[in-house]
Structure 1
Amino acid sequence: MASELSALLPDGLPPGRLIGATADAPLYWLSDDPVDAELYRRLVADHPRTGLWPVLAEFLEYDAKRPWDDPSELTPGPVTAIDAQSPAEVLQSFWSELLPDDEDLEEYTESLEPFGLTSPGLAGPGASAGSPDEFACWLAADEPPARLLLAKANRSADLPAVVGWNGPLNHSNDIAPLLTTLRSWEDRFGVRVVKLGFDTLDLSVAAPPTSEEHALHVAAEHWAFCPDTIELSPGALREYAADIQNANSWSFWWD
């Protein structure tokens, strides 16, 4: 019996295979080889019809099979768990949990200026510079050729839960709060999930912050979402905010 996912796969796909715990309940389709940008564009345009969202699959440098060729490392979760979260409450909770309660607190508050100990809450939306899907296609075309992963997801922010991605495990054991934030970024900044790796996430951004103040507010959200992105380099919110101002892509890495 064909699985629901295999029945949705469009014609003209390159060689690939279904990946999942069982043959009749695969998590996603994965191409055998890197694909061209034109295929990615076609699949994005086809998403409203198929319900399948494409992402570029990134693998570990030292193990070309991890994580996407072997589902044993993946823990798919229900998309409904994302619905139960509030992005404002999620970011406030992460902000509070990340602050140390020892002699390092002063150093943290300096790197988080001008916000310090208090989360500034959600930043206002950006002004769209174009279609979010078009920006996703632009970023995919700008990336090195990669294998393609296709999964059934109503929106790109839900795909990491569907495929069982565990990238932020060192930051949060529960991925649902982070994907709630990702959904909110889709709505406020026109982001799309373009590339997903073992512990990396690359987003296209159709409506980035364009002012210094707005970028600083968005940078605060990024710190709560993925502190390693700021702490490992450049080290402070102000410097990081300058990097994302007017930027049409955001990249995250969890150490």
Structure 2
Amino acid sequence: MLNGIERAETAAGVPLVSGTFPAGEHDRVWRALRAEHPRTGLWPVLGWTAGEAAKGTYDWCRQQQGPDRLAALHDVDPAERMALITRSKLEWTLHGDPDDPQLKAWQQEYRAEFDAARVAEAIGPLTEIPPGIRRQTGGYPPTEVLLVPAAAGHEVLALVPGLMAIMNNWNGGPSHPDLHYADHVFVLRHWEKTWGAELYHPGVDNLELAVTRPPRDPLAAATCAIEQSSYCDDLEQILGDVYVVARRQAPADHWSFWWD
């Protein structure tokens, strides 16, 4: 299945292997390797070679990567962290002069976008399942796959830091002002459990997930869309507001994120 086999080791000693395949075969390759994961223990990640991925880990201190770091991150409740990120994003949207009448009107709209019941009522029944969004792999099909010894996709991001960037352009309120690299791990772990969202392609400024149990009723889709829009507010540039995300991405079997 794979050619161009390459092996490398991260700064923390995690062994990596990668291979290449013909253009246009990435989805088939990923799904075949994902199906083999229970036997191999190797999680497939599209778009990276072992050498590139390992090199990036040397820009991180060893305490911030590898099995010990992963064990420490498992002490954090991912659902609580997702709720904190969402609350912080709402805080940020509501900042400003509370006596400004125009700002008050905007804030009412913002609050509505963080109310799952109101969003669900606005989007109505999901009568058509949207196609999965593949923003990066659709436009630039990868020809490499990285295999990481990990029990699940979220573990990859802790074991091999640098596959995604620290989000310096994300803004939150006082309860969580910045999106940290570890937040990618927490969010993905939460979505793995809740929606069956699995790591497919991480990039420096983008992320794609394959989803096995996407929300299909309006309230669940609304809840999911609020989480997605809070985690990646640049979805508004890609798709639109939270109502559009609830209709076009949350119920789909493939999710795409991008940070400008």
Q: TM-score normalized by structure 2?
A: 0.68
Q: Which amino acid aligns with 1:115?
A: F
Superposed CA deviations along residues 140-183 of structure 1, whole A, max 9, x for unmatched, are 89982421111111111211111113334324563333322212
Q: Distance in 1 between matches of 2:104 and 2:21?
A: 47
Q: Given the superposition, is the C-alpha separation of residues 234 and 106 from structure 1 closer, same or farther in structure 2, using an over 3 Å criterion?
A: farther
Correspondences of 1:26-175 after superposition (within 5 Å)? 26-31=14-19, 36-37=25-26, 38-57=28-47, 68=53, 70-71=55-56, 72-73=58-59, 76-77=65-66, 78-98=69-89, 99-100=91-92, 101-103=95-97, 107=106, 110-111=109-110, 113-115=112-114, 144-164=141-161, 165-170=163-168, 171=170, 172=178, 174-175=180-181
Q: Distance in 2 between matches of 1:166 and 1:245?
A: 22
Q: Distance in 2 between matches of 1:182 and 1:151?
A: 16
Q: Distance in 2 between matches of 1:86 and 1:105?
A: 34
Q: Distance in 2 between matches of 1:49 and 1:163?
A: 21
Q: Given the superposition, is the C-alpha separation of residues 107 and 39 from structure 1 closer, same or farther in structure 2, using an over 3 Å criterion?
A: same
Give the counterpart of 1:250 among 250, 255, 260. Answer: 255
SS in 2 for 1:252: strand
Q: CA deviation at 1:89?
A: 2.0
Percent identity between the two aligned chains: 27
Structure 2 unmatched ranges of 5 or more: 98-102, 120-131, 171-177
Q: Distance in 2 between matches of 1:88 and 1:108?
A: 26
Whether contact under 8 Å (2:155, 2:185) holds in the other structure is yes
Q: Distance in 2 between matches of 1:221 and 1:105?
A: 23
Aligned-pair Cα RMSD in Å: 3.5
Q: Distance in 2 between matches of 1:112 and 1:20?
A: 47
Count of residues in Structure 1 that have an aligned counterpart in Structure 2? 216
Superposed CA deviations along residues 81-122 of structure 1, whole A, max 9, x for unmatched, are 331112232123223333332256864652452436xxx9xx
Q: TM-score normalized by structure 1?
A: 0.69
Q: Which amino acid aligns with 2:257?
A: F
